């Protein structure tokens, strides 16, 4: 029983990471039909930003330093997202395949750039002592870092939902996902929303990268590339463009992966996730909470 609780909370922590990476992908895709293959690079960039803060700003106490690290990671992701949209994607409006191809090249170059600067060996992220302590929940010793990741992801999920539901920008984004031409016809500047969505996706990915450094106990340039595949699976299972769907799918995918890895055999978990994807596609091609296929 106690191991079940531990696996569940570990799985939920992993779900938090998947959600942070996948929600940005899903929103960007929903609004702009751009599949951003450079998203994994934002993730890794956030991770390295966090590593740099933890490594260099030793004047701050560890707890505060970690808060600064997460904030900086988010900012790095946000700026990277906005720059990529403004500087590159914008020049290829309406040409979806070219946009995807551009992000492929960008992702390759960015990962190699980080590899050239930081080398491909994982960098250890120094963590506050509290993270590695455990809390007893229903008889299981759960590392605090798992709870932290889960908490941050939940806060960002609620924040994202509120942003989309309550603010004017959120309203425009939701309307744009529904029908961008109509929004444009009403005289609203959808292009600005494109930048906002990219920046938002970058922010979420950057924070995700910092937390992934805690979860996987290290940062490497390929961190995002591996996780991006699972994020894609999450996005497709959840339904393209649906944030609640992404959250639901993230939980489903991460729990499947962790349970299978621990109860059946290590390594089979990732493969079973692909099986889950095939199953969902056969039953519901548009994803769990997605609209009917366009």
The answer to whether residue 240 forms part of the interface with another protein (CB under 8 A) is yes
- Asked if 232 touches another protein (CB under 8 A), the answer is yes
Binding to another protein (CB under 8 A) within 55-114 occurs at 88, 91-92, 95-98, 100-102, 104-113
Position 225 contacts another protein (CB under 8 A): yes
Please, which residue, 10 or 227, has the CB nearer to another protein?
A: 227
Among residues 112 and 165, whose Cβ is nearest to another protein?
A: 112
Backbone angles phi, psi at 37, to 5 degrees: -80, -5
Q: Which of 157, 205, 249, 277 binds another protein (CB under 8 A)?
A: 277
Nearer to another protein, 171 or 268 (CB): 268
CB of 95 to another protein, least distance (A): 7
Nearer to another protein, 170 or 287 (CB): 287
* 267 touching another protein, by CB under 8 A: yes
Q: Which is nearer to another protein, 18 or 131 (CB)?
A: 18
The minimum distance between CB 245 and another protein, in angstroms, equals 13
Contact residues for another protein, defined by CB under 8 A: 29, 33, 35, 37, 88, 91-92, 95-98, 100-102, 104-113, 115-117, 225, 229, 232-233, 235-236, 240, 265-268, 270-271, 274, 277-278, 281-282, 285, 293
């Amino acid at each position: 029983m106690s191991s079940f609780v531990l696996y569940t909370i570990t799985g939920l922590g992993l779900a938090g990471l998947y959600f942070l990476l996948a929600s940005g992908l899903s929103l960007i895709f929903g609004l702009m039909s751009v599949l951003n293959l450079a998203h994994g690079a934002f993730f890794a960039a956030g991770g390295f930003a966090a590593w740099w803060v933890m490594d260099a700003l030793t004047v701050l106490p560890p707890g505060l330093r970690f808060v600064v690290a997460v904030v900086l990671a988010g900012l790095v992701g946000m700026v990277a997202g906005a720059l990529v949209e403004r500087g590159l994607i914008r020049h290829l409006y309406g040409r979806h395949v070219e946009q995807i191809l551009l992000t492929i090249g960008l992702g390759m170059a960015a990962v190699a750039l980080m590899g050239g600067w930081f080398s491909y060996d994982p960098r250890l992220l120094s963590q506050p002592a509290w993270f590695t302590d455990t809390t007893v929940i229903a008889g299981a010793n759960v590392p605090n870092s798992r709870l932290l990741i889960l908490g941050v992801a939940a806060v960002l999920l609620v924040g994202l939902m509120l942003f989309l539901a309550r603010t004017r920008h959120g309203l425009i984004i939701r309307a744009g996902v529904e029908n961008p031409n109509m929004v444009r016809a009403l005289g609203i500047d959808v292009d600005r929303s494109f930048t906002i969505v990219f920046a938002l996706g970058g922010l979420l990915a950057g924070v995700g990268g910092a937390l992934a450094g805690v979860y996987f106990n290290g940062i490497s340039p390929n961190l995002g590339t591996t996780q991006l595949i699972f994020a894609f699976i999450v996005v497709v299972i959840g339904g393209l463009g649906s944030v609640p769907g992404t959250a639901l799918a993230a939980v489903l995918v991460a729990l499947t992966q962790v349970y299978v890895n621990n109860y059946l055999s290590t390594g089979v978990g990732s493969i079973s996730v692909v099986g889950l994807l095939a199953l969902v596609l056969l039953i519901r091609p548009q994803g769990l909470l997605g609209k009917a296929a366009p």
